[in-house]
Chain A
Amino acid sequence: DAGVIQSPRHEVTEMGQEVTLRCKPISGHNSLFWYRQTMMRGLELLIYFNNNVPIDDSGMPEDRFSAKMPNASFSTLKIQPSEPRDSAVYFCASSRTAYEQYFGPGTRLTVT
């Protein structure tokens, strides 16, 4: 089992460009979480889905951020337009139980 798969692993883009991060959860897991990790703020929950339905998006910083989960095996996190302060590592995690989450390797985003 490859675990949670995220792509791309690294993304460098210019300010103002659209960025799309992708996640494939572990098969059979019904919850999916998007996190942002920075030195200053640690690990912040952006949004999570249960059975493909967004349950809590209170952590999404601004309207520039959006997330979708069109089916049980795929989710995207989009930033449009991107800004330098969005530079961070973005993690996707999936789970069957709320507390034991399985994390992907992360996408390191750099916005110049």
Chain B
Amino acid sequence: AQRVTQPEKLLSVFKGAPVELKCNYSYSGSPELFWYVQYSRQRLQLLLRHISRESIKGFTADLNKGETSFHLKKPFAQEEDSAMYYCALMNTGFQKLVFGTGTRLLVSP
């Protein structure tokens, strides 16, 4: 069965500090993974997908199949990064996303 685990409910860092939001998955097929973000008073939206290998708002995420992880990283956190972050796995059979429970990132000045 496919599953996404985000072990931290809350991650609190100071501005300028590095950030790593953890995500582990279990999936028997070839995984497609994504990060979604929800800023305060805004809608949940796609942040990045592993296939694109992009850096969005300074965030990157590398798929590590050996460790079944897809951690989201940013070298220097900004206050505007404070948000709820969800890791998601694509179930290609049913063409649907399976979300983790989310991690709230709080960046303090």
Do these two chains really belong together in a complex? yes
Give A contacts to B, CB under 8 Å: 3-4, 31, 33, 35, 40-45, 48, 50, 55-56, 91, 93, 98-105
- Stretch from B18-26, B62-70, B75-83, B89-97 forming part of the interface with A: B89-97
Q: Are A43 and B86 in contact (CB under 8 A)?
A: yes
Q: Which one of B49, B86, B94 lies within 8 Å of A99 (CB-CB)?
A: B49
Q: Measured between C-beta atoms, what is the minimum distance from A26 to chain B in Å? A: 12
Write out the residue numbers on chain A whose beta carbons fall within 8 Å of the beta carbon of B98. Answer: 45
Q: What are 30 pairs between A and B in contact, CB < 8 Å? A: A31-B95, A33-B96, A35-B99, A40-B101, A41-B101, A42-B6, A42-B86, A42-B99, A42-B101, A43-B44, A43-B99, A43-B101, A43-B102, A44-B99, A45-B96, A45-B97, A45-B99, A48-B96, A55-B94, A55-B95, A56-B96, A91-B44, A93-B44, A98-B90, A98-B95, A99-B88, A99-B90, A102-B43, A103-B43, A105-B43
Give B contacts to A, CB under 8 Å: 6, 32, 34, 43-46, 49, 86, 88, 90, 94-102
Write out the residue numbers on chain B whose beta carbons fall within 8 Å of the beta carbon of A105. Answer: 43
Give the interface SS of chain A, mostly helix, strand, loop or mixed.
strand
Give the interface SS of chain B, mostly helix, strand, loop or mixed.
strand
Q: Measured between C-beta atoms, what is the minimum distance from B92 to chain A in Å? A: 8
Chain A residue nearest to B41 (CB atoms) is A105
Write out the residue numbers on chain A whose beta carbons fall within 8 Å of the beta carbon of B32. Answer: 99
Write out the residue numbers on chain B whose beta carbons fall within 8 Å of the beta carbon of A41. Answer: 101
* Most chain A beta-carbon contacts within 10 A, residue among B32, B44, B100: B44
Write out the residue numbers on chain B whose beta carbons fall within 8 Å of the beta carbon of A3. Answer: 43
